[in-house]
Structure formats: C-alpha cells, structure tokens
Amino acid sequence: MMKITLRQQILAATFAVVIGILSQLTLPLTLVPLTGQTFAIGLAVTLLGKKNGTYAILIYLLLGLIGVPVFAGMSAGFSVLAGPTGGYLVGFIFNGLLTGAILEKRGFTYTWAIVANLVGAIVTLFFGTIWLKVAADLTWAGAMSGGFIPFILPGVIKAIAAAYLGILIRQRLVRFAVN
C-alpha cells in the first residue's frame, strides 16, 4: 500500500475544497451546465501532480457522494453520479490520472501542462458524453451536440488557464519550499 504523508493529505483535502468551490461557478445550459469544475481539476493536478491531484479529485467525489453539496449547483448524492452529468464526474478521475502522468513523464512546463490539460479535458468530455447518451437516453448526435461540442472551446480555454496558472504557482512556490 502506498504511504501518503500528512502534508499530502492536507494538500489533497484543500484542493478537494477548491474543486468544490469552483464547481459552484456555473452557467446552466441544457442538461449539462458549464462549470468551473474542469478548470479546478486541471489546476489541482498541475499543482499537485498525478497522485495528490487524483487524491484531491477522489476526496471531492467522496464528499459529494456522502451528501456534502460540492457538485455543481450545490448538489450532492449518488443521484448526481447516476444522473446525466455523472460521466463527467467519473471522467475527472481519469483526467487527473492522465494529465498527471503526462506532466510527470514530460515535465511540468507550460507547453506540457497545456498539452496534458487539453488531453485531460477531452477525456472528461469523452466519459461525460458516453454517460450522457446512456443516462438521458439520447442518440449519439444528441449526446455530442448536448454534451461535447458546446464544451470544446470552453474546455480549451479552461485547460490553458489551468495549465498556465498551475505552472506559474508551482514556479513561485518552489522559492518557499523547505527541505
């Protein structure tokens, strides 16, 4: 079993809260709202890396599943996960793992952070669109037009912003690191 230090636990819990707060930045569209969640996921993983960033995502999801209203629109519970937007929530886990893996393999640079966050955003949209099709009983065209296509440009913008801000903060925090 992997050992996680108290510092790592605190960082993951702190970013789970950040994800929950940014999730409340919501612009309702159709079945799927435009939220700050994906920005927060990318920021967490860019700052914390694969392991701690994914822990933050898992804590966030667990908080929502046990009833803490951290999901978009101050929602919570298993019904959100089982509903039309649940695939995006599940996709966050794979987003974190893949984004973090790319960053750890290629390096925490602006270029690789943008690439990694773009890949992660597509992974989230992929999971969300498939889930939306099934949960809302939509056609593939309906799922794509309601859960994928309208989120491409906002996803690109949020991925670039998360990458830029994440690397900027990482570089600044190195100055304050204590060995």
Identify whether 159 is part of a domain. yes
**Within a domain: 168:** yes
Q: Is 1 part of any domain?
A: no
CB-CB neighbours of 88 under 10 Å: 27
Domain count, the chain: 1
- For residue 47, what is the domain's CATH number? 1.10.1760.20
Per the domain annotation, does 94 fall within a domain? yes
The tens place of each residue's pLDDT in the chain, 179 residues long, gives 568 899 999 999 999 999 999 999 988 877 787 899 999 999 999 999 999 999 999 999 999 999 999 999 999 999 999 999 999 999 999 999 999 999 999 999 999 999 999 999 999 999 999 999 999 999 999 999 999 999 999 999 999 999 999 999 999 987 655 43
Is-contact 51 43, C-beta < 8 A? no
* Residue 60 falls inside a structural domain: yes
Q: Is residue 110 part of a domain?
A: yes
Q: What burial letters (b/e) apply to 19-39, b meaning 16+ CB within 10 Å?
A: bbebbeebeeeebbbbbbbbb
Which structural domain range is residue 111 located in?
6-177
